[in-house]
Amino acid sequence: MDSGEVEGRTLAAGSATGRVLRLDEPLSLWGGMDPATGRIIDRRHPQAGQSLAGRVVVMPAGRGSSSSSSVLAEAIRAGTAPAALVLREADPILALGALVASELYDRRMPVVVIDERAHAAIRAGDEVVVRAGPRGASVRGPRGSATPRG
Amino acid sequence: MPLELSARDRAMLDGDAGEGPRIAMRIVASMAEVLDADHLIDVASAHVDGCLYQGQASLDFAERLARAGARVSIPTTLNVGGVDLLHPGLYRGDPDRAARSRRLMGLYEGMGCRPTWTCAPYQLPDRPSFGQHVAWAESNAIVFANSVLGARTDRYGDFIDICAAITGRAPAAGLHLDANRAGGILFRLSSVPGRLLSEDILYPLLGHLIGAESGSLIPVIDGLPPTTTEDQLKALGAAAASSGSVGLFHAVGVTPEAGSLEQAFAGRVPRREVTVTPALMAEIRDGLSTTTGRIDAVSVGTPHFSLDEFGALTPLIERTAINPEVDFYVSTSRAILAEVERMGWMSAYRRAGIQIVTDTCTYIAPILSPSTRVVMTNSGKWAYYAPGNIGVEVVLGSLAECVRSAAEGRVWRDDALWRG
């Protein structure tokens, strides 16, 4: 797609704009992110110490504990959550955290899945717009950039 | 494929069964759509993890359900909570957080869940039977139910667990379906010597490797002895579900859906193969250990210690004096603790100054002394999560290594174990 926009699947609806933080490995939010600060506390994670708050977090998949739904919902409530999650594989645990937060607090954090090539093309640090609705999702990069190339 | 709900599902969604089932069904149906399920199935039991306080959102959700009058409609067990209700004096953290944890635990009990407070519900009577669909949360319980019992649960988490318990329904998706239970990656143990295969410590290490290597493929292990115990499989699964997203593994000749390699892979060819060696296992042991030398504490029982594990630990502590400078914790369920008391083993633990922790776990609740810096454990899961969760250094070792190290006050290694 030459408009710098790729289409994907909506796991949780919402729309957001933010700078991309790429995670090199899947992260379990439970035991991996402190919902009070949004920081990655899993010391074995390559991006340990970085904050997810307000970022469009691009990661391969979720991982590990089934308590990650609660950690995500709590982070959304506390305002420390990512602006959006862009995954390569559907993750029901993360989708659920976003879904419950929208039920409880009426705050919508989009969770989307895009294909592997488009996922790999999103550049760290770029400002992107994520839109996720009932009929599908899109991730749009800055004009003229290579992010993302569909 | 569009989701097709039964008349009963639709009635729940429309609020005919009340506000509680309406909220719960809405969440189950939304998850079914995320998972691309075309219908819902009945589940026979649930194991709920949402009772562990993770923040205000945990309470807000449970309160909304409880206020709506929600009750579970199937037998439902509860995972660990944030406090040890039997030994409340062990809690060293913020009293406000303890009160919130307690309140959350009470809300779930009030919705009709059994106050089992354990991450190892498979150690309780009435566990799921082969082929039975259940809705279990808690990653180690999920992998045990699927792999060792041959029951069927997808990887449920907080929120959906109680919604499945209230509605008795779950999406027909993921590990509920035959097509998603076939092996994809093969781990060969032919290079691992017999002595190491019989040692408990192999299992969390192997689990850690399997979790890290499998991605979304179902792992198949070839070469475990038929004598492999449930506790060894528990340790393996818990570690695999910590380092990765494993919800099911097959062990050829050991687990019920893997009578043969062909059966485990449903007749297909493995997408990948990994050869496991003793050197690789020692490397993982050292990778999971963040320090060496002096230790301040030992913590075992993650997942919760079984009666058999108490049976193995009891003679060790009877003949080894624990160094008074080293705190020693065993986490277990109140049900297993009652058994330990019946066996008359508690006096040995009291004499040795060993603290039994129930209802929660030492890497979740603030139980360890604030001066604790280095902790030895036999659990891959504890070693994986504790440094991030409670800020300690960890050393991973076998149960015997943990006890001997607790006696000496510093890490003791059984080198014969690791010579390949």
List pLDDT tens digits, range B197-246: 999 999 999 999 999 999 889 999 999 999 999 999 999 999 999 888 89
What is the tens place of the pLDDT at every residue in B350-397? 999 999 999 999 999 999 999 999 999 999 999 998 998 899 999 999
Residue A150 confidence (pLDDT):
41
Domain presence at residue A150: no
pLDDT band at A143 (very low <50, low <70, confident <90, very high): low
Name the maximum alpha-carbon separation found in chain A: 40
What is the tally of structural domains in chain A? Answer: 1
Give the 3-state DSSP-derived string for B251-316, with helices as H, strands as E and coil as C: ECCCCCCCCCHHHHCCCCCCCEEEECCHHHHHHHHHHHCCCCCECCEEEEEEEEECHHHHHHHHHH
Residue A73 makes CB contacts below 8 A (sequence gap 6+) with A97, A98, A100, A101, A104, B57, B61, B159
Whole-angstrom Cα distance, residue A143 to residue A139? 12
Alpha carbon of A145: minimum distance to chain B alpha carbons (Å) = 31
User: Band of the pLDDT at B348, cuts 50, 70, 90?
Assistant: very high
Residue A75 resides in a domain: yes
Given CB atoms, is B34 within the 8 Å cutoff of chain A? yes
Residues whose CB is less than 8 angstroms from the CB of residue B13 and which lie 6 or more positions away in sequence, other chains included: B5, B22, B25, B26, B29
Of B294, B372, B293, which is closest to residue B329 (Cα–Cα)? Answer: B372
pTM of the model: 0.93
Within-domain flag for A145: no
In this structure, is residue A149 part of a structural domain? no
* Mean pLDDT for the stretch of residues B56-66: 97
Residue B336, pLDDT score: 98
CB A29 within 8 A of CB A80: no
With an 8 Å Cβ cutoff, are B55 and A66 in contact? Answer: no
For residue B57, is pLDDT > 50? yes
**Residue A44 pLDDT > 90, yes or no?**
no
CB distance A38 to A51 below 8 Å: yes
As a whole number of Å, the end-to-end CA separation of chain B is 52
Residue A39 has pLDDT above 90, yes or no: yes
Interface test with A, best of B159, B210, B242, B290 (most A CBs within 10 A): B159
**pLDDT reported for residue A2:** 38
Q: CA–CA distance from A112 to each of A8, A83, A119, A133, B195 (Å)?
A: 7, 12, 11, 10, 47
Two tokens, residue B284 = 């993982």
Catalytic residues of A: 65
Whose tokens are 């950690």? That residue is A71
The H-assigned helical ranges of B307-368 are 307-319, 334-342, 346-352
Q: How many helices (DSSP H) and strands (DSSP E) are in chain B?
A: 17, 14
The phi and psi torsions of A131 (rounded to 5 degrees) equal: -125, 130
Which chain A residues touch B if contact means CB-CB below 8 Å? Answer: 11-12, 26, 28, 30-32, 35, 41-44, 61-71, 73-74, 76-78, 89-90, 92-93, 95-97, 99-101, 103-105
Q: Is B324 exposed, middle or buried (0-12, 13-18, 19+ CB in 10 A)?
A: exposed
Instruction: Give tens-digit pLDDT for B244-274.
Output: 889 999 999 999 999 999 999 999 999 999 9
Is A67 within 8 Å of B23 (Cβ atoms)?
no
The tokens for B184 are 């994809």
Q: What is the distance between the alpha carbons of residues B103 and B77, in angstroms, rounded to a whole number?
A: 17
pLDDT of A147 over the 90 cut: no
Contact A95 B52 (CB under 8 A): no
CATH number of the CATH domain containing A58: 3.50.30.10
pLDDT per residue as tens digits for the range B99-130? 999 999 999 999 999 999 999 999 999 999 99
The answer to whether B306 and B389 are in contact (CB under 8 A) is no
- Kindly determine whether residue A70 and residue B159, on different chains, have CB atoms separated by under 8 Å: yes
Within 10 angstroms of residue B191's Cβ, the number of other Cβ atoms is 13
Given a cut of 50, whether residue A149 has pLDDT beyond it is no
**Do B324 and B348 contact (CB within 8 A), yes or no?**
no
Are residues A73 and B57, on separate chains, in Cβ contact within 8 Å? yes
Is the predicted pLDDT of residue B136 greater than 50, yes or no?
yes
pLDDT beyond 90 at B417: no
For residue A82, the surrounding DSSP H or E stretch is none
Would you tell me which residues 229-248 of chain B have a C-beta closer than 8 angstroms to some C-beta of chain A? 241-245
Q: How far is B322 from chain A (nearest CA, A)?
A: 30
Residue B419 has pLDDT above 90, yes or no: no
Q: d(Cα B414, Cα B396) in Å, to the nearest integer? A: 12
Q: Above 90 in pLDDT, residue B418?
A: no
Query: Exposure pattern of B263-295 as b/e (b: 16+ CB <10 Å)?
Result: ebbeeeebeeebebebebbbebbeebbbbeeeb
Q: How confident is the model at residue B420 (pLDDT cuts 50, 70, 90)?
A: low
Residue B1: pLDDT above 80?
no
A146 located within any domain: no
Judged against a pLDDT cut of 60, whether residue A60 lies above it is answered with: yes
Domain residue limits at A36: 5-140
| Average pLDDT of the residues of chain B | 96
List strands edge to edge, sheet with B135-136.
B76-78, B46-48, B135-136
Give CA–CA dist B167/B42, Å, rounded.
9
